[in-house]
Structure 1
């Protein structure tokens, strides 16, 4: 008998949704389940997708509050609102064609896909990739939601999702984040000293704050510290930092790093934006995070949630960022407290948990593709 097949849908707004899909593919493959990864918006509406990607990147620098306003406004809209009805039609024809061609046994969303439902009898699962739930994630067509925390499961329940349709799995991460190679090999590969503590700064598409230039000299001058900048695909930023720190032996600058888990494994702290997947990877790697000026919307919600649990700190300006870095560098009780907090949140086998649950339900046939009736008007109208 042919292997079961899962259609994994993601979107390319940031790298996180793709990484979650890859982690799920890894877990499913270990259970003999085939998977097909598809960026549905890019496939069905390439011009719209390109515009949205540019808007997503620009929002961090030029108009974060506009993004935050749009996030909040759409979160409050009724599911029957004309705007959401229009959004909910995007990609539907492409998805129907995909289903006809691939004939999957299950559809898994790692992004709030608007095109469902497409075909009665195919079960649908949703893997939330943040520590909060925008209403666009919710659909009465979903058989089950995989969520990061018990708190998020309660949030979904308060919005009308029956408790039996939620699973607390964590946000799926690749296995390598919990099984890094030896530290000596990592230090050698990236030209780092084993005698210094490593600060990992994820700059990427969002760049780095202008305040960094004013406060970085004091931080970088710390003799016990070495700093690694990862610029992702932001080539202008990489060239700028390489020029600025070409004589600084304690600074390393890289572009895109495929195996960022290696750098996480040897770092004492991570400076980053508050994307849910990056934060989940940091939790899996036992790495405290300093979240710089989180953007209004899901990232601010992520930041406040992890900070409230003691697993991250928020810096709203360069002075706070410098203070947090130096304090975490030298304050061992704070380091222990944050790692203890991380231990209470981390789900290092999240991808395995989701994959195992999917395999069990596909084998048993308990998912019929006919969603359970919603218990609130919010879901009943979707």
Structure 2
């Protein structure tokens, strides 16, 4: 059995050996992917990145930056963030404005927090014999950038930026490479940092494509609940958070739609939305491609993985009542890039849905799937 932290390592080496003999692949590299268990989005990106790297013949290790922090600080940070956006979103909005948003002169940063994880990350790199480190969470990006800038991390570091609105905690000049969702974002990062950045597109599994396998099953299930009402997915993320989700569900139902409320792991929210007349409230769903494909549109509040998954499946997305901070900025940025629509009030939401479900014009731009492996191969290659 391969070591726990090197999934499928033996198979990766065998594949790479065969490809090297055929003269078709670079040398095998081992990359440490640093994620964070904040919701499910960052871990999903880390898993897909590791899969693509292994498919290309490389080895991967994965770690959680929150677990690199001492004395359960990471668990406390996650709990505080989750409680803030669920119960006191104005508190998180203030934190975001102070620590994350660019501009306005000197502002506090995450350097003291990142410093607490330095020794443990360096140990993971050394013990795992990693050739490069890839951060997929902004605290991890600050950690690797700080170490590289001070000469305490001998291997190169890359950052996979998962947000559309790139706040300043994603950016550190010490990192060697930034991989972004679009070329516009990459250009912005190059301008702000003067460091290499390229577009790699969203990191989604291949099952997120038009007409996935589970579509017919979900269409039958939703038809039984909807009658003739077009189903509209109301997304609340893995933690089940959002502003006045019950009011949005009532609005959709009164407008002639079937609100399909995706409540994640928030069972209390699922029970509450199940009481809204005409609403189908769901908990955690494993077959997201099929569910998305069976819906007419997605009402999104975070510009996160669900929005990207919907676009990959071919379902239009409307941003509405976004969560504060990165959610609000990301939703507006997606609309500005021509990827989604954005509704500032209930009237615009219904008007947008009416247009989309009647076959009207949808946001015409699609996210291209770029190459994330080759830039990382070059970064990790022996020099």
TM-score (norm 2): 0.79
**In structure 2, the residue corresponding to 1:228 is in which secondary structure?**
strand
Where does the alignment leave 5 or more consecutive residues of structure 1 unmatched? 369-382
Deviations 1:92-133 (A, max 9, x none): 121122112211122100012133227543121100011122
Is the contact made by 1:177 and 1:261 (CA closer than 8 Å) also made in structure 2? yes
Structure 2 equivalent of residue 283 of structure 1: 311
Q: Which has the higher contact order (CA 8 A, sep 6+)?
A: 1
Structure 1 residues 54 and 269: CA distance shift in structure 2, 3 A:
same
Structure 2 equivalent of residue 57 of structure 1: 82
Name the CA distance, whole Å, in 2 between partners of 1:234 and 1:211.
13
Deviations 1:321-369 (A, max 9, x none): 3x344323432598553241x32xx12x34xx10233235545x4xx5x
Deviations 1:282-334 (A, max 9, x none): 33223222223223422222111122234333345xxx33x344323432598
Indicate which of 183, 198, 201 corresponds to 1:167: 198
Structure 2 equivalent of residue 7 of structure 1: 32
Deviations 1:233-287 (A, max 9, x none): 1011112233445xx4xx4322111232221122221122224333322332232
> Does 1:105 pair with 2:105?
no
Residues 301-316 of structure 1: pairs in structure 2 closer than 5 A: 301-316=329-344
TM-score (norm 1): 0.79
Name the CA distance, whole Å, in 1 between partners of 2:41 and 2:170.
16
Structure 2 equivalent of residue 220 of structure 1: 253
**In structure 1, the residue corresponding to 2:306 is in which secondary structure?**
helix
Is the contact made by 2:261 and 2:280 (CA closer than 8 Å) also made in structure 1? yes
Structure 1 residues 144 and 199: CA distance shift in structure 2, 3 A:
same
Deviation larger for 177-186 or 297-306? 177-186
Once the two structures are TM-superposed, the CA of residue 158 in structure 1 deviates from its matched residue by 2.5
> Does 1:231 pair with 2:268?
no
Superposition RMSD on alpha carbons, in Å?
3.1
Structure 1 equivalent of residue 233 of structure 2: 200
Name the CA distance, whole Å, in 1 between partners of 2:324 and 2:336.
17
Where does the alignment leave 5 or more consecutive residues of structure 2 unmatched? 1-11, 14-27
Structure 1 equivalent of residue 350 of structure 2: 326
